[in-house]
Structure 1
Amino acid sequence: MGEDILSMENITKIYGNGFVANKNVNFTIRKGEIHGLVGENGAGKTTLMKVLFGQEIPEEGRILLAGREVNISNPLIALEYGIGMVHQHFMLIESLSVAENMVLGSEPVKGIAFDYDEAVHRTKEVSKKFDLDVNPKAIIRDLSVGYKQRVEILKMLLHGAQILLLDEPTAVLTPQETRELFIQLKQLREKGYSIVFISHKLNEVKEICDRITVLRGGESVSTTDTATVSEQDISKMMVGRDVFLNIEKKKSNPGKPVLSVSNLSYKNKFGLYAFKDLNFTIRSGEILGVAGVEGNGQSELANVLAGLEPIQDGDIKVNGRSIKGMNIRQIREEGVAVIHEDRMTYGTSATQSIAENVISDRYYKEEYKKNGFINWEYVVSKSKELIQNYLIKADGYDAEIRTLSGGNIQKVVAAREFTSKLKLLIASQPTRGIDVGAQELIRKKMIKLRDEENTATLLFSADLSELLNGSDGIIVMYGGKITAYFPDASLVNEEILGEYMLGLKSQSSEEIGGVVHE
Structure 2
Amino acid sequence: MTDSGGATPRVEMRGIVKRFGQFEALSGVDLALRAGEVHALLGENGAGKTTLMKVLGGLHEPDEGEIVVAGEPVKLRSARRAAQYGIGMVHQHFCLVKRFTVAANLQIGAARASRVSDSVSNAVELGERYGMKLDPAARIADLSVGEQQAVEILRALGRGAEILILDEPTAVLTPQESERLFTMLREFADAGKAVVLISHKLREVTGHADRVTIMRRGAVVARRLAGECAERELAQLMIGTGIEDLPLQTGSPFKAGSSEPQLACAGLSVTHADGRLALDDLSLRIGSGEIVGVAGVAGNGQRELAEALTGLRPAAAGTIHAGDRDLSGGGPLDFIGAGVGHVPEDRNRTAVAPGAPIWRNAVLKRYRTRPVARGWRVDSSAAQKFAEQLCDVAQLSTRDVHRRIRNLSGGNAQRLVLRREIDCSSRALIAAYPARGLDVGAAHQVKKAMLEAREAGIGILLISEDLDEILELSDRIVVLYEGRIVSEFTRENVDRDQLGLSMGGAAVR
1:234-313 to 2 correspondence within 5 Å?
A: 234-244=234-244, 246-250=246-250, 251-252=253-254, 254-313=258-317
Structure 1 residues 325-359: Cα deviation after superposition (integer angstroms, max 9, x where no partner): 33322311110111100000011111112222111
What residue is the counterpart of 2:506 in the other structure?
504
Check the 8 A contact 2:103/2:119 in 1, yes or no: no
Q: Are 1:386 and 2:390 an aligned pair?
A: yes
Check the 8 A contact 1:132/1:150 in 2, yes or no: no
Residue 449 of structure 1, CA deviation: 1.2
C-alpha separation in 1, matches of 2:156 and 2:68:
24
* Residue identity in the other structure for 1:456: G
What residue is the counterpart of 1:319 in the other structure?
323
Residue 150 of structure 1, CA deviation: 6.5
**Which of residues 73, 78, 93 is equivalent to 1:74?**
78
C-alpha separation in 2, matches of 1:134 and 1:372:
54
What residue is the counterpart of 1:474 in the other structure?
477
* Residue identity in the other structure for 1:480: G
Aligned residues: 492
C-alpha separation in 2, matches of 1:174 and 1:312:
29
Structure 1 residues 368-426: Cα deviation after superposition (integer angstroms, max 9, x where no partner): 25687544344333333333332323473222111122222211111211222531000
For the structure 1 residues 322 and 123, does the alpha-carbon distance in structure 2 shift closer, same or farther, using more than 3 Å as the test?
A: closer
Q: Are 1:6 and 2:8 an aligned pair?
A: no
Check the 8 A contact 1:97/1:136 in 2, yes or no: no
* Residue identity in the other structure for 1:82: G
2:282 counterpart SS class: strand
C-alpha separation in 2, matches of 1:224 and 1:489:
34
Larger deviation: 222-231 or 164-173? 222-231
Residue 261 of structure 1, CA deviation: 0.3
C-alpha separation in 1, matches of 2:216 and 2:69:
25
What residue is the counterpart of 1:221 in the other structure?
221
For the structure 1 residues 217 and 490, does the alpha-carbon distance in structure 2 shift closer, same or farther, using more than 3 Å as the test?
A: farther
After TM superposition, the score normalised by the length of structure 2 is 0.88
Check the 8 A contact 1:358/1:415 in 2, yes or no: no
C-alpha separation in 1, matches of 2:328 and 2:118:
52
1:176-195 to 2 correspondence within 5 Å?
A: 176-195=176-195
For the structure 1 residues 437 and 108, does the alpha-carbon distance in structure 2 shift closer, same or farther, using more than 3 Å as the test?
A: closer
Larger deviation: 298-307 or 317-326? 317-326
What residue is the counterpart of 2:486 in the other structure?
483
Residue 147 of structure 1, CA deviation: 7.5
What residue is the counterpart of 1:510 in the other structure?
none
Q: Are 1:169 and 2:173 an aligned pair?
A: no
Residue 178 of structure 1, CA deviation: 0.5
C-alpha separation in 2, matches of 1:66 and 1:138:
38
**Which of residues 417, 420, 426 is equivalent to 1:422?**
426
Structure 1 residues 25-44: Cα deviation after superposition (integer angstroms, max 9, x where no partner): 33221222111011112222
C-alpha separation in 2, matches of 1:231 and 1:137:
34
Residue 116 of structure 1, CA deviation: 6.2
1:491 counterpart SS class: coil
What residue is the counterpart of 2:458 in the other structure?
455
Check the 8 A contact 1:43/1:216 in 2, yes or no: yes
* Residue identity in the other structure for 1:485: E
Residue 78 of structure 1, CA deviation: 0.5
Larger deviation: 179-188 or 252-261? 252-261
**Structure 1, unaligned runs of 5 or more:** 508-518
Check the 8 A contact 1:243/1:436 in 2, yes or no: no
For the structure 1 residues 63 and 325, does the alpha-carbon distance in structure 2 shift closer, same or farther, using more than 3 Å as the test?
A: same
* Residue identity in the other structure for 1:49: M
What residue is the counterpart of 2:352 in the other structure?
348
Q: Let me know the Cα RMSD of the aligned residues.
A: 3.2
Q: Are 1:46 and 2:43 an aligned pair?
A: no
1:85 counterpart SS class: strand
* Residue identity in the other structure for 2:254: S
Residue 77 of structure 1, CA deviation: 0.4
What residue is the counterpart of 1:513 in the other structure?
none
C-alpha separation in 1, matches of 2:364 and 2:236:
35
C-alpha separation in 1, matches of 2:289 and 2:398:
33
* Residue identity in the other structure for 1:496: Q
What residue is the counterpart of 2:3 in the other structure?
none
What residue is the counterpart of 1:334 in the other structure?
338
Check the 8 A contact 2:124/2:136 in 1, yes or no: no
Residue 247 of structure 1, CA deviation: 2.9
Residue 244 of structure 1, CA deviation: 4.3
What residue is the counterpart of 1:514 in the other structure?
none
What residue is the counterpart of 2:136 in the other structure?
139
For the structure 1 residues 226 and 334, does the alpha-carbon distance in structure 2 shift closer, same or farther, using more than 3 Å as the test?
A: same
C-alpha separation in 1, matches of 2:274 and 2:198:
36
**Which of residues 420, 441, 445 is equivalent to 2:449?**
445
C-alpha separation in 2, matches of 1:123 and 1:310:
32
**Structure 2, unaligned runs of 5 or more:** 1-5
What residue is the counterpart of 1:212 in the other structure?
212
C-alpha separation in 1, matches of 2:236 and 2:51:
22
C-alpha separation in 1, matches of 2:349 and 2:293:
23
1:37 counterpart SS class: strand
Check the 8 A contact 1:337/1:424 in 2, yes or no: yes
1:46 counterpart SS class: helix
Larger deviation: 258-267 or 64-73? 64-73
C-alpha separation in 1, matches of 2:105 and 2:324:
52
Identity, in percent, stands at 35
Residue 68 of structure 1, CA deviation: 2.9
